[in-house]
Every structure is written in C-alpha cells, then in structure tokens.
C-alpha cells in the first residue's frame, strides 16, 4: 500500500459520498489500480488532528507504508493553520506526495507548502466564521 485516500466529515450524520466519488475519479484519471489504494475515513471535527483514521494514516506515513496522500479538500486534513502546516511539513520532509483534488494541487515542495499555508489559513477563518454564526443563532 502506497497511496492513501483521506476522507473526513464533521459529524456522524453526514455522509462522505461526494468526497469518495471525486477521489475515485482521481484514481481512474491517474491510471491507478484501485486495489492499491487504502482509504482512511473520519467522522470528526477538523479543528483537531486527534482523529482515529488520521492517527493511523500518520503512523502509516511515518513507517513508510504510504508515499502519497490524496484528499478532496485541504480542510479535510485540518481547519487549523499551525496544525495543518506542521502536518504537511512533516509529510513533505518524509518525501510524501500530498494531493488536494479540488485544487488540482500537489503540495510537494516549497511552492506547494506555501500555497498549503494560505489554504489552511482560509480554512481556519472559515472555522471561526462557523463558530460566530452558531453563537449568533443560539443568541
């Protein structure tokens, strides 16, 4: 196993059908044998990196079992600027390719990492906007 597909939705009530569909299209478009792909799926908030499937993915990356991580959107990995950038930075140091399907973006190398930083910052802003809207709705 060298290619990982990472999928995350925030709650148990949500489904990941649209993410899986787009990731499967990426697999086909890149001529990858689907049986060589391992899926990691979380139903948890993106505000923390403490998630079961992400924890396993990180272990598999660190032990060399995964050489490419593909996800639908960058905020599936993290909605926190610092945590997200540290995660991507560590994977890039391990020479792991990180692909964001919706952006047609490969985060390998310094330009990809700089772009990732921008997108993680935007994901963090969106997380804060969601909190504000929730608080206003409750009030």
The residues assigned a catalytic role are 10
**Cross-sheet strand order for the sheet of 105-106:** 37-43, 3-9, 68-71, 97-100, 105-106
């Amino acid at each position: 196993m060298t290619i990982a597909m990472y999928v995350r939705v925030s709650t148990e009530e949500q489904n990941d059908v649209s993410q899986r569909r787009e990731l499967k299209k990426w697999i086909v478009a890149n001529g990858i044998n689907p049986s060589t792909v391992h899926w990691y799926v979380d139903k948890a908030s993106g505000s923390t990196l403490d998630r079961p499937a992400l924890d396993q993915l990180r272990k598999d990356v660190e032990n060399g079992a995964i050489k490419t991580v593909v996800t639908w959107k960058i905020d599936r990995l993290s909605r926190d600027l610092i945590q997200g950038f540290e995660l991507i930075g560590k994977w890039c140091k391990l020479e792991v390719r990180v692909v964001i399907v919706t952006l047609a973006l490969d985060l390998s190398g310094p330009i990809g990492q700089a772009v990732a930083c921008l997108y993680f910052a935007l994901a963090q802003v969106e997380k804060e906007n969601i909190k504000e809207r929730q608080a206003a709705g409750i009030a």
